[in-house]
Amino acid sequence: MTSARFQFPDNFIWGSATSAYQVEGATNEDGRGESIWDRFSHAPGKIEDASNGDAACDHYHRWRGDIALMKQLNLQAYRFSIAWPRILPEGRGRVNQAGVDFYRRLVDGLLEVNITPFATLYHWDLPQALQDRGGWPARATAEAFVEYTDVISRALGDRVKHWMTINEPWCVSFLSHQKGEHAPGWRDWAAAIRAAHHTLLAHGWAVPVLRQNSPGAEVGIVLNQEPVIPASPSAADYQAAREHDGYFNRWFLDPIYGRGYPADKVAEYLHLGYLPNGLDFIQPGDLDVIAAHTDFLALNYYTRKIARSAVLPESENLPATVQRQGEPTEMDWEVAPDSLRHLLNRIYFDYQPRKLYITENGASYSDGPNRQGEVHDVRRLNYVRDHLIACHRAIQNGVPLAGYFVWSFMDNFEWAKGYTQRFGIIWVDYETQRRIPKQSALWFRDAIAANAVTLDGDR
Ligand code: FCB
């Protein structure tokens, strides 16, 4: 049997990630205000199992034990998000000190055991009070974000030195305002495009505030990205691939790297009537703000996209030559590790970020404890291993990838899917809040200790 060893650079960071609404629970404690996810998840029919984040993993109370578990797993960094409605319950104005103190304790707890905090400022839990005044389609929400950024980075800027502004602006805008799948559940193209602009503007305005309040910190944004390939060599499928890439990837990458919004997409949205008032929401100087210099680009990667033209009747198109490979995860996402290498290479080649992190990567499989109380999640282990190898290959190709965060540290509230999907490397028994590190977690612990991934067998 052959075996291959993939040794990572010495300063490579191994971590895991969560977000506030998905793990904290305690939604009514210590003065936290309502968020759009409280409102949305409590509305009938929005969440697959009619659940919500009221209790989630009770991380708000159990964070000490969770940090101890992180330590046992050798994690070097923890990516978490800060709940805006804990800090500013009405979105702006009055600061809730108890909320600030929670994150101060959490951060101090991490630092005590030498785990580096990576803080995300916005992972989707907008204060409902701001939604009531228009939400992300309104420019004032971006202004409020800067106020919130200032408050929290003044409080934590001496100890948190890795900041991410917005998590996945595509989800904040299109998934939530055009597809209607996430809070606030709108189905309005024009609102989605405005929301996208305002999340990017919020990011751009926040960057200098973070630099001011957190000297020496690294600052960046988190994009979810899907490499796209056409299903067949037909012109129609190439066009479909380019359109999806523009919608999902370039709409965010281009303005962040100073190129403005992609012309092909702007023309398409105008043509389709999605922008009845044109680009009137872009004010002079906005695109310079959005192109603020950042220290890193953070990417969340789960799967690739095979694009098939919906315009051309199937009978007139060329036969699809690219098919989904293998068994998908329980989210019905194709497992495509090599596309992660392509993605990293493409983004570095095209946009030249100084540094990259994979801030989310992982898989939903529901494998639970056996009679001995062990969780043999071999498919997740393989998924994480193969994606780490893809990262290693990208590093060999010259991509400055500085770290990898597995999604997720523990099973949690998976948004519109509720608790039906388990992404954790730690099993959570929601009845008892007991945590059990899965086989993938133990494997990850050993990989971190070796700073390497080993692959046995002939591959
Ligand atoms: C990402 C989200 C994260 C989690 C994973 C599965 O889009 O950022 O919160 O839900 O998907």
159's enclosing H/E stretch is: none
224's enclosing H/E stretch is: strand 218-224
Atom of ligand 1 nearest to the CA of 415: 10
Indicate whether residue 226 lines ligand 1 (CB < 6 A).
no
Mean pLDDT of the chain, nearest integer:
98
pLDDT of 457 strictly over 90 = no
Sign of CA dihedral 348, 352, 354, 358: negative
pLDDT of 459 strictly over 70 = no
407 C-alpha vs ligand 1 centroid, how far in Å?
Answer: 8
CA distance 299 to 361: 9
pLDDT of 91 strictly over 60 = yes
pLDDT confidence of residue 436: 98
Averaged over 224-244, what is the pLDDT? 98
CA distance 74 to 111: 14
pLDDT of 119 strictly over 60 = yes
Residues across the chain: 459
Give whole-number Cα distances, 216 to 80, 120, 149, in Å: 20, 17, 16
Residue 222 and residue 166 in contact, taking contact as beta carbons nearer than 8 Å: yes
Indicate whether residue 329 lines ligand 1 (CB < 6 A).
no
Tokens of 225: 């990205």
CA distance 70 to 80: 13
Indicate whether residue 294 lines ligand 1 (CB < 6 A).
no
> pTM for this structure?
0.98
pLDDT of 220 strictly over 70 = yes
Contacts 24+ apart (CB under 8 A), 44-51: 46/183, 46/185, 46/416, 47/415, 47/416, 47/417, 47/418, 48/416, 48/417, 48/418, 48/420, 49/417, 49/418, 49/419, 49/420, 50/418, 51/413, 51/418, 51/419
pLDDT confidence of residue 456: 85
Q: Is 360 a catalytic residue?
A: yes
Averaged over 34-57, what is the pLDDT? 98
C-alpha closest to that of 201 among 143, 152, 153, 254: 143
CA distance 231 to 372: 45
What residues does 401 pair with on adjacent strands? 356
C-alpha closest to that of 171 among 133, 128, 220, 124: 124
CA distance 406 to 384: 8
Averaged over 141-154, what is the pLDDT? 99
Look at phi and psi of residue 458 and say left if phi exceeds 0, alpha if psi is from -120 to 50, else beta: beta
Give whole-number Cα distances, 227 to 230, 240, 300, 303, 316, in Å: 10, 13, 12, 8, 26
CA distance 303 to 363: 10
Give whole-number Cα distances, 91 to 130, 144, 154, 204, 221, in Å: 6, 7, 17, 19, 21
181 C-alpha vs ligand 1 centroid, how far in Å?
Answer: 13
Indicate whether residue 19 lines ligand 1 (CB < 6 A).
yes
Sign of CA dihedral 447, 450, 453, 456: negative
50 C-alpha vs ligand 1 centroid, how far in Å?
Answer: 19
Residues with Cβ < 8 Å from 346, sequence gap 6 or more?
A: 227
